[in-house]
């Protein structure tokens, strides 16, 4: 496991929310590749990692995957001992798990608990997993570190802290990395045909439906006139009841395509056409 430090320019669109300096953890999956959470290095101009030998090493390349929320860092000549990865989805509710992380460049911490949930997860930044791993472990340090099973295999990368009782941390399953491993290790871009439509807004599901809590400045939603407080009724004529319905409707489209949205704003219904963006280009 390594300690990660990344610097992002203040003008990068992610900086106002995620900050310019980001600290985290990561785990070696080859002698020269470290797997971590992608938001830790999103837009980074420089990044370095530090292993147990205490020697900082520069990151030569960052390969991002917005769909899974993972990033693979290339650290040339590092010679790290790679962790063992779980190659299946056998983790189940009730299984014991162990979280390993950093609290700083020289301090490592661990904590143990159990898997409390395995299933779908949706978030308000146009992010959704069909399968996530939640545990009873309260992360004692930084995000990006490994979640290990009883056999010492990495079953996930710890991404978020959660507030639900008994579901204190969320991990991105290792199989999502294995599905993308070849592309991430080579640094090849995601093919255009596989990129999803990106709107650049923050939808929040509640009892009344899906309300927009904000838009990304300069993003597609901002340019099309969507506003904070808009209640989203439909996408391309399909009613959307929750975030899962919304994202499935959006991701039928790709970057550059027009997405029709019906919204309720101050007791009036508006139809807004948004030219979908490309998250990889916007946040590069």
Instruction: Look at residue 1 in the predicted model and tell me its pLDDT.
Output: 95
Instruction: Look at residue 9 in the predicted model and tell me its pLDDT.
Output: 97
Whole-number average pLDDT of the chain: 96
Instruction: Look at residue 270 in the predicted model and tell me its pLDDT.
Output: 95
Residues 6+ away with beta carbon under 8 Å from 202? 124, 125, 212, 213, 214, 215, 216
What is the domain count for the chain?
3
- Establish if 88 belongs to a structural domain: no
| Residue 109 domain boundaries | 96-178
> Among 133, 152, 178, where does a domain finish?
178
170-198 pLDDT, tens per residue?
Answer: 999 999 999 999 999 999 999 998 999 99
CA angle 185, 192, 64 (to 5 degrees): 35
> Among 157, 186, 215, where does a domain finish?
186
Confidence of residue 37 (pLDDT cuts 50, 70, 90): very high
Average pLDDT over residues 225-241: 95
Instruction: Look at residue 186 in the predicted model and tell me its pLDDT.
Output: 96
Residues 6+ away with beta carbon under 8 Å from 115? 91, 92, 93, 94, 95, 97, 133, 134, 135
- Establish if 8 belongs to a structural domain: yes
Same domain, 224 and 278: yes
Q: Which residues pair with 22 in a beta bridge?
A: 6
Same domain, 160 and 198: no
What letters, b where the CB count within 10 A reaches 16 and e where it falls short, cover 150-189?
eeebbbbbbbbebeeeebbbbbbbbbbbeebbebbbeeee
Same domain, 226 and 173: no
86-134 pLDDT, tens per residue?
Answer: 987 789 999 999 999 999 888 999 999 999 999 999 999 999 999 999 9
- Is pLDDT above 90 for 166? no
- Establish if 122 belongs to a structural domain: yes
Is the pTM above the cut of 0.85? yes
- Establish if 111 belongs to a structural domain: yes
Same domain, 168 and 239: no
Same domain, 206 and 146: no
Average pLDDT over residues 149-164: 95
Same domain, 199 and 174: no
Average pLDDT over residues 190-218: 94
Instruction: Look at residue 282 in the predicted model and tell me its pLDDT.
Output: 97
What is the CATH number for 13?
A: 2.40.10.10
């Amino acid at each position: 496991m390594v300690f990660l430090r990344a610097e992002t320019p203040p003008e990068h669109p992610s900086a106002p929310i995620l900050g310019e300096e980001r600290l985290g953890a990561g785990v070696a999956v080859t002698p020269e590749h470290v797997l971590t959470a992608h938001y830790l290095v999103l837009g980074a101009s420089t990044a370095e990692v530090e292993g147990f030998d205490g020697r900082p090493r520069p990151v030569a390349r960052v390969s991002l995957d917005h769909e899974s929320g993972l990033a693979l860092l290339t650290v040339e000549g590092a010679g790290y001992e790679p962790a063992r990865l779980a190659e299946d989805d056998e983790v189940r509710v009730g299984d014991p798990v162990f979280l390993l992380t950093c609290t700083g460049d020289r301090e490592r911490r661990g904590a143990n608990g159990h898997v409390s949930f395995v299933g779908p997860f949706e978030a308000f930044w146009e992010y959704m997993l069909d399968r996530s791993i939640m545990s009873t472990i309260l992360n004692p340090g930084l995000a990006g570190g490994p979640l290990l099973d009883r056999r010492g295999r990495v079953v996930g990368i710890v991404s978020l802290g959660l507030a639900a009782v008994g579901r204190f941390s969320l991990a991105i399953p290792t199989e999502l990395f294995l599905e993308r491993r070849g592309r991430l290790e080579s640094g090849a871009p995601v093919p255009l045909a596989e990129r999803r439509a990106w709107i650049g807004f923050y939808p929040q599901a509640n009892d009344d439906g899906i309300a927009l809590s904000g838009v990304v400045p300069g993003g597609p939603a901002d340019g099309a006139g969507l506003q904070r407080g808009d209640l989203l009724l439909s996408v391309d004529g399909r009613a959307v009841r929750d975030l899962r319905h919304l994202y499935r409707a959006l991701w039928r489209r790709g970057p550059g395509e027009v997405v029709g949205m019906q919204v309720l704003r101050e007791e009036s219904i508006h139809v807004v056409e948004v030219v979908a963006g490309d998250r990889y280009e916007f946040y590069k």
